[in-house]
Amino acid sequence: MNKEIWLMVVVSLFFSCTENRKSRDNSYQYYSINLNPNSALVLNPKVNEDSTIRYFDYEVTQGRNTVFTLTFAKGDSTYTDGGVAEIIVFEVDSSATDFKIADADFNNHNGLYKKACFCIDEYANKATRINSGKVTGRKINSNSWLLNASVGMIDFKDTVNVNQEKIISLK
């Protein structure tokens, strides 16, 4: 009888310690904002193999502007290919204390949009010109900006410090 009770205790402990994987939420959602002063966007135009998509490789280098990189990412960390990120990058003259960029005006600021994912979409992972949306910014002090952005899935209003990446978790 003692062995039976001992066995029941061990079995019940085993089942009470198992994790219910179906109840775990492995999804994520966040914004990332990064400012690089004294920088410039260098654009390298590209065309896909059948010449139907014009896109850009780009690099942030030393320059006279401030380069803004805004990212919205969401997905499921359970799977390697379970996420997607939308990235916009643009530059503003470093002497500016405020700016408003909308729609076609992004061309004047080297504005690019990129959807980064493991997906079959022919535009995926290619930076293309931004043709709709709006970003406004106001310099609060020498190290901080107030940004308001609405481009694609990127839709937020927040402050960010120069040379510091800010991550805002939405989960």
Encode pLDDT of 62-119 as tens digits: 999 999 999 988 887 777 677 888 999 999 999 999 999 999 999 999 999 998 888 7
Q: Give the HSE-up count for residue 168: Cα atoms under 13 Å, Cβ half-sphere.
A: 14
Instruction: Outline where DSSP puts E strands in the chain.
Output: 27-47, 54-62, 65-76, 83-93, 98-102, 112-117, 128-129, 134-141, 144-151, 154-161, 166-169
pLDDT of residue 130: 94
Which is higher by pLDDT, 6 or 91? 91
pLDDT of residue 66: 94
- Chain centre distance of CA 43: 20
**Residue 136 pLDDT > 90, yes or no?**
yes
